[in-house]
């Protein structure tokens, strides 16, 4: 997620709180959802169904929206029938080859090739059908439907749904290089947002210093299953020594 310029400037210039409560420096930062994805279709079509409203919780693998796909569904059924017939023909030819030798090995190879082609064509048809279903890649909340209504056309890669995982959060801050390099990927921390405090664990320390500020980006993961912290809220973090 990219921060607006005025927010980034604020934190680069005011990255350390002067408060020393608890014996450690408090670093200012911003909370983010653990995952934030804008989903779109890889093909164009007409929106046929939206199974979830904004604010709804969805599980990974659930279909959120669908484009009209009757032609693609029928094509999958047709390709399955073709594959079934090709396999039956191959089995019959194989039995004749094994028992009577009345068919040549070349003819048997042709039947095998026909089955392989039918399998590939069925896989292509299934993929074309799959592309018309927008599936949740992770558990999360529908944050935005981007205004598209059922019956309207959707273009290739047009934003359709924004899905965010708010059950887990990430606190992002910028630290002086001398202090950030003392942290490990499993260092403990406490995040404070308003009156809410959450224990956290460092998951990322940037290997690159920002040349304009001399700071390093640090990310701290925290559990937010209760939804107490709204992603985007500003706060502070203190690291355990």
Tokens at 152, concatenated: 């309207």
State the CATH architecture for 70-130. Answer: Orthogonal Bundle (1.10)
Q: E-strand spans in the chain?
A: 16-17, 26-39, 45-50, 57-58, 63-67, 133-135, 140-144, 153-154, 161-176, 188-193, 196-205, 215-223, 234-239
Tokens at 10, concatenated: 């604020």
Tokens at 215, concatenated: 């700071």
Continuous H helices in 66-169: 70-99, 105-130
Quote the pLDDT of residue 139. Answer: 96
Q: What is the mean pLDDT of residues 87-116?
A: 92
Q: Tell me the pLDDT tens digit for each residue of 124-179.
A: 999 999 999 999 999 999 999 998 899 999 999 999 999 999 999 999 999 998 88
Q: Tell me the pLDDT tens digit for each residue of 29-88.
A: 999 999 999 999 999 999 999 999 999 999 999 999 999 999 999 999 999 999 999 999
Torsion angle, alpha carbons of 60, 169, 50, 124, to 10? -40
Domain 5-38+165-239, CATH: 2.40.30.170
DSSP 3: P
Tokens at 220, concatenated: 């701290």
CA dist 21 and 240 (Å) reads 13
Domains of the chain, by residue range, sit at 5-38+165-239, 40-65+138-162, 70-130
CA dist 149 and 220 (Å) reads 38
CA dist 20 and 237 (Å) reads 11
Q: Is the dihedral of CA 60, 62, 66, 70 positive or negative?
A: positive
Q: Tell me the pLDDT tens digit for each residue of 201-213.
A: 999 999 999 999 8
pTM (predicted TM-score): 0.76
C-alpha distances in Å from residue 138, one per residue of 37, 61, 171, 215, 232: 9, 7, 20, 32, 20
């Amino acid at each position: 997620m990219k921060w607006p310029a005025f927010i980034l400037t604020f934190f680069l210039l005011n990255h350390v709180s002067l408060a020393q409560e608890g014996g450690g420096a408090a670093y200012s930062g911003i909370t983010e959802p653990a995952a934030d994805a804008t989903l779109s279709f890889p093909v164009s079509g007409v929106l046929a169904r939206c199974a979830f409203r904004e604010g709804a919780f969805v599980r990974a693998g659930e279909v959120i929206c669908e484009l009209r796909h009757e032609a693609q569904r029928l094509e999958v059924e047709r390709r399955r029938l073709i594959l079934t017939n090709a396999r039956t023909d191959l089995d019959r030819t194989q039995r004749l080859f094994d028992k009577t030798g009345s068919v040549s090995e070349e003819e048997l190879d042709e039947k095998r090739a026909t089955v392989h082609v039918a399998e590939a064509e069925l896989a292509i048809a299934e993929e074309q059908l799959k592309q018309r279903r927008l599936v949740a890649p992770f558990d999360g909340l529908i944050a935005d439907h981007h205004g598209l209504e059922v019956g309207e056309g959707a273009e290739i890669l047009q934003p359709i749904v924004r899905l965010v995982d708010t059950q887990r959060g990430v606190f992002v801050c910028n630290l002086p290089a001398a202090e950030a390099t003392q942290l490990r990927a499993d260092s403990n921390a406490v995040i404070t947002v308003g009156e809410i405090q959450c224990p956290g664990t460092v998951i990322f320390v940037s290997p690159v210093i920002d040349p304009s500020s001399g700071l390093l980006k640090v990310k701290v993961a925290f559990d937010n299953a209760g939804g107490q912290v709204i992603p985007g809220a500003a706060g502070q973090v203190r690291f355990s020594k």
